[in-house]
């Protein structure tokens, strides 16, 4: 992995060495849960936030985001990896396999073997590669049943990162993500606050001196039992039932959705300027 430069005898060096950033993956990387009408596709997300900060530190960064909600590992490999390689990135973020882990019979070992090959291809020309392990979803009602499977996958991802000298963003160890405020109302995606915190973690992992600051999560009073159950029922009707129906039909949430930033010239590397804890109307 490339090391960010710091200073030179003749003057200030660039804050980081990257000029062409490409992100691939699913809804996590697309930015679902972080709605912003000013962002391409109506969602901002951690990857946009990272690119914005890298661009602020070294103006001229080009950025493409090929991630599409609902995509499983095989779709990401077939559709996004070739497109990413065509762009010749020097910084590429890869987060894939999360939707596979949600499906019965998913094999985290088999997926990790393919991930190893993907990371090798991405870094073959010297690009810095960023990988992610999965967050600890033990406190998330709809996801806690696959916690063990995610843990196995995480160990495999760590091996792949070590083998290829890739940066690994440790979401499992990021305990702030256990706070409900870090999650969107659907309890499946991260909120603007969560995406902001992950962007900070990515930049820290890359060793970049940046200006993003983790937001303090305000303490909230305990929710009465009856109110909590009512909220659970509303959530189950609005979010869980459609999600389960898609799993049964083996359909995606984004079959007609294309990448929000398919190329370097598709949109300027600027965000909507929303504060980390704000939320635009749900898309």
pLDDT in tens, 258-271: 999 999 987 878 75
Can you tell me the distance from the alpha carbon of 11 to that of 29, in angstroms, rounded to the nearest whole number?
Answer: 36
Residues in the chain: 283
Picking from 253, 216, 275, the residue whose alpha carbon sits closest to that of residue 75 is 253
Q: Which residues, including other chains, have CB under 8 Å from residue 168's CB and lie 6 or more apart?
A: 130, 131, 132, 133, 157, 158, 161, 205
Place of tokens 């991630």: 67
Q: Between β-strands 20-25 and 91-95, what pairing exists: parallel, antiparallel or unpaired?
A: parallel
| Helix 108-122 / helix 147-164 crossing angle, nearest 10 deg | 30
How far is the CA of 131 from the CAs of 1, 27, 66, 196, in angstroms? 12, 15, 15, 17
Q: Would you kindly state where each structural domain of the chain is located, as residue ranges? A: 7-218
The residues facing 130 across adjacent strands are: 93, 167
The predicted-structure confidence for 5-30, as pLDDT tens digits, reads as follows 444 334 567 889 999 999 999 999 99
Whole-prediction pTM value?
Answer: 0.85
**Nearest CA to 18 among 204, 213, 206?**
206
Report helix, strand or coil for 175.
Answer: helix
* CATH of the domain spanning 7-218, picked from 3.40.50.620, 3.40.640.10, 3.40.350.10, 3.40.50.1110: 3.40.50.1110
Per-residue pLDDT tens digits for 169-191 = 999 999 999 998 999 888 789 99
6 C-beta neighbours (distance < 10 Å), count: 12
* Mean per-residue pLDDT over the chain, rounded: 85
220-233 residue pLDDT tens: 777 676 766 666 66
Cα–Cα distance list, 242 to 106, 120, 236 (Å): 21, 37, 9
Q: Summarize pLDDT for 87-144 with one digit per residue, the tens.
A: 999 999 999 999 898 888 889 999 999 999 999 999 999 999 999 999 998 876 667 7
């Amino acid at each position: 992995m490339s090391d960010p430069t710091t200073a030179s005898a003749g003057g200030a060096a660039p804050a980081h060495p990257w000029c062409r950033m490409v992100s691939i993956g699913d809804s996590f990387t697309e930015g679902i849960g972080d709605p912003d009408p000013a962002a391409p596709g109506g969602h901002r997300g951690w990857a946009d936030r990272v690119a914005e900060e890298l661009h602020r530190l070294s103006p001229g960064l080009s950025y493409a985001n090929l991630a599409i909600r609902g995509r499983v590992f095989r779709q990401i490999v077939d559709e996004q990896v070739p497109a990413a390689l065509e762009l010749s990135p020097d910084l590429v973020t890869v987060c894939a396999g999360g939707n596979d882990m949600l499906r019965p019979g998913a094999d985290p070992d088999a997926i990790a073997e393919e991930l190893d090959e993907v990371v090798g291809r991405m870094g073959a020309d010297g690009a810095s590669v960023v990988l992610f392990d999965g967050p600890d979803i033990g406190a998330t009602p709809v996801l806690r049943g696959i916690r063990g499977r995610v843990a196995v996958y995480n160990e495999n991802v760590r091996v792949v990162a070590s083998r290829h000298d890739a940066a690994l963003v440790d979401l499992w160890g990021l305990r702030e993500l256990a706070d409900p405020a870090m999650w969107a109302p659907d309890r499946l995606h991260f909120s603007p606050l969560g995406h902001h915190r992950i962007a900070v973690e990515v930049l820290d992992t890359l060793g970049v001196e940046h200006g993003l600051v983790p937001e303090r999560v305000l303490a909230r009073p305990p929710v009465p039992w009856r109110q909590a159950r009512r909220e659970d029922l509303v959530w189950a009707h609005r979010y869980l039932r459609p999600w389960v129906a898609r799993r049964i039909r083996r359909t995606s949430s984004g079959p007609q959705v294309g990448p929000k930033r398919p190329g370097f010239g598709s949109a300027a590397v600027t965000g909507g300027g929303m504060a980390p804890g704000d939320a635009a109307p749900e898309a």
